[in-house]
Amino acid sequence: MTDYKYKTIILKLSGEALQGSLGFGLDPDTLEHIAAQVAEVALGGVRVGLVIGGGNIFRGQALSQRGLNRVTGDHMGMLATVINALAMQDALERQGLATRVQSAISMYQISEPFIRRRAIRHLEKGRIVIFASGTGNPYFTTDTAAVLRASEIGAEIILKATNVDGIYDRDPRQDPGAVLHPTLTYMGAIRDRLKVMDTTAFSLAMENKIPLLVFNLFKDGNIKRALRGEAVGTLVTE
């Protein structure tokens, strides 16, 4: 077994991370790239849970501003996460990994219901567990779902995958002079209203003392380096 600092993790993927350069939907090359990185650490003995967003397919919050009922929109967004979960499941299985999709909304023909003890047992058996449908409740983001699932399965860290190197004081894509924060506190992130995660997610992580690492998913080997405790991205702790 590779000497990893963390043995049980939640990897949070946004829906946008799966669309690659397409701008919408699912990019097969991106799915394969992510699956290969996950496989590398999973085959090294790390227990991996995945939480995936649905923004590459549907964003209920945006449409709610145009008159769509917010609860209806959030339910539609949860269904989008299931599509992404199934796509990621297929990509991971092509890497030779055993997987299970667990949905917070019952869909017995295509996924298991979320059952905490069953999820933990799957992880103990070396299976990747992909948590879909967020928390199953409207008004909660998949970031909050990631922290909730991490708390339930006893994850030691949450890896929040992005397309930038971590949390900056300003948007680095708009300001080349933006400064990367190597570390932050939860309260600092909440106080500064950093948009990398919502306040509810930060608060829940702080309450349960789960460190959060925001890193660039698209640099090869970053997941492995992060789990070894190397200086990657921005670490948010107490």
**CA distance linking residue 159 with residue 137, whole number of Å:** 23
* Chain centroid, CA 40 distance in Å: 17
Q: Which domain range does residue 39 map to?
A: 8-237
Q: Would you call 139 helix, strand, or coil by DSSP?
A: coil
User: Does residue 149 fall inside a structural domain?
Assistant: yes
Residue range 4-16: mean pLDDT, rounded: 94
* pLDDT for res 59: 75
Any idea what the CATH number is for the domain that residue 187 is in? 3.40.1160.10
User: Does residue 65 fall inside a structural domain?
Assistant: yes
User: Does residue 113 fall inside a structural domain?
Assistant: yes
Helices (H), the chain: 28-42, 60-64, 70-93, 116-124, 142-153, 186-191, 199-207, 222-227
User: Does residue 3 fall inside a structural domain?
Assistant: no
Total domains in the chain come to 1
Handedness of CA 117, 120, 126, 131 (dihedral sign): positive
User: Does residue 134 fall inside a structural domain?
Assistant: yes
* pLDDT for res 98: 98
The residue with greater pLDDT, 196 or 222, is: 222
For 132-164, b/e burial (b = at least 16 CB within 10 A) is: bbbbbebebbbbbbbbbbbbbbebbbbbbbbeb
The residue with greater pLDDT, 73 or 153, is: 153
Given pLDDT bands bounded at 50, 70 and 90, which one contains residue 21?
A: confident
**CA distance linking residue 145 with residue 164, whole number of Å:** 22
For the chain, give the mean pLDDT: 92
Highest mean pLDDT among 121-130, 218-227, 228-237: 121-130
User: Does residue 151 fall inside a structural domain?
Assistant: yes
Given pLDDT bands bounded at 50, 70 and 90, which one contains residue 174?
A: confident
* Chain centroid, CA 22 distance in Å: 20
In the sheet with 8-13, reading across from the earlier edge strand, the strands are 112-113, 99-103, 128-132, 47-52, 8-13, 157-162, 212-216, 234-237, 183-185
Residue range 173-193: mean pLDDT, rounded: 88
Q: Kindly report which listed range (68-72, 162-166, 170-174) carries the lowest average pLDDT score.
A: 170-174
**CA distance linking residue 91 with residue 147, whole number of Å:** 24
DSSP conformational letter for 16: G
Lookup: tokens for 213: 């690492």
Tens-digit pLDDT profile for residues 196-206: 889 999 999 99
Q: Would you call 81 helix, strand, or coil by DSSP?
A: helix
Tens-digit pLDDT profile for residues 123-166: 999 999 999 999 999 999 999 999 999 999 999 999 999 888 99
Tens-digit pLDDT profile for residues 77-133: 999 999 999 999 999 999 999 999 999 999 999 999 999 999 999 999 999 999 999
User: Does residue 137 fall inside a structural domain?
Assistant: yes
Q: Kindly report which listed range (33-37, 61-65, 116-120, 225-229) carries the lowest average pLDDT score.
A: 61-65
Q: Would you call 91 helix, strand, or coil by DSSP?
A: helix
Q: What is the pTM of this model?
A: 0.93
* pLDDT for res 148: 98
Handedness of CA 82, 88, 93, 94 (dihedral sign): positive
Given pLDDT bands bounded at 50, 70 and 90, which one contains residue 2?
A: low
Residue range 35-58: mean pLDDT, rounded: 95
Given pLDDT bands bounded at 50, 70 and 90, which one contains residue 61?
A: low
122, 152, 159, 170, 183 from 180: Cα distances, Å: 37, 31, 17, 9, 9
User: Does residue 93 fall inside a structural domain?
Assistant: yes
